[in-house]
């Protein structure tokens, strides 16, 4: 017989920490785009300027996507943590009805499970 432990606090903390970095990623994307446009406007060679402009246009959606994916990742992690915690509470009640109320007292619930 094996045990499964659920400790959602570290994962919930990771979700909050990841969400907190989203503005930094948005700033990085904006600075990167600005740097490419600045390089295009400051170039004295039209071919180089056109290349920087073209590169900036190609990269802008991708850079913006990176910033939004950070927020999405944080949201998905928070949802997964909530789902796991809810499932743990439901399984605690199903496996040990008398102890289901006490499972709310701790963020770490450990109980035996059958592992094939």
SS (H, E, C) 35-73: HHHHHHHHCCCHHHHHHHHHHHHHHHHHHHHHHHHHHHH
By the 8 A CB rule, do 74 and 19 touch? Answer: yes
The pTM assigned to this predicted structure is 0.65
Q: Which residues form the domain of 75?
A: 2-113
How many structural domains does the chain have? 1
Model pLDDT for residues 50-109, shown as the tens digit of each residue? 999 999 999 999 999 998 899 899 999 989 888 888 887 777 776 665 555 555 555 445
Higher pLDDT, 54 or 1: 54
CATH number, domain at 77? 1.10.287
């Amino acid at each position: 017989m094996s045990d499964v432990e659920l400790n959602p606090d570290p994962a919930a903390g990771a979700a909050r920490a990841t969400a907190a970095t989203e503005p930094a990623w948005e700033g990085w994307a904006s600075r990167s785009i600005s740097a490419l446009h600045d390089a295009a406007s400051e170039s004295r060679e039209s071919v180089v300027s056109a290349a920087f402009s073209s590169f900036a246009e190609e990269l802008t959606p991708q850079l913006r996507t990176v910033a939004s994916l950070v927020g999405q990742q944080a949201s998905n992690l928070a949802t997964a943590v909530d789902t796991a915690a809810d499932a743990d509470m439901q399984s605690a009640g199903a496996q040990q009805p008398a102890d289901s109320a006490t499972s709310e007292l701790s963020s770490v619930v450990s109980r035996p499970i059958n592992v094939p």
